[in-house]
Amino acid sequence: MANELNQQRVIDEFLRCFRKMLMDPELAGELVRIAKENINQPNAYQRIAEEVSNQTTIKIQEEHTEADRKFIKLLMDVVKGDSQLY
């Protein structure tokens, strides 16, 4: 039961994030830019989380939720995948 509630929380957080990205077409580009600028920095994960919160309407809490961790990892994977295309 607790696991199902946690999964639903993760889904709900992702849906809120996707809704924001659909309502603000420039947001996805900003997220990718932030990830690209910080991907090779020490503590890249933490820097990306902080910059996303500071520079966009997506707020990532200091204590990252499972959805936060998955979202930041997804951003990092997108940037890494993007660099492999060139």
Instruction: For residue 85, name the pLDDT band (cuts at 50, 70, 90).
Output: low
Rounded (10°) angle between helices 2-23 and 66-84: 50
In contact, 17 and 53? CB cutoff 8 Å: no
* CA proximity to 47, closest of 67, 76, 6: 76
pLDDT at res. 73 = 94
DSSP string of 61-77? -SS--HHHHHHHHHHHH
Looking at the whole model, is its pTM more than 0.95? no
5-25 pLDDT, tens per residue?
888 988 998 899 889 988 998
Domain-wise residue ranges, the chain: 1-85
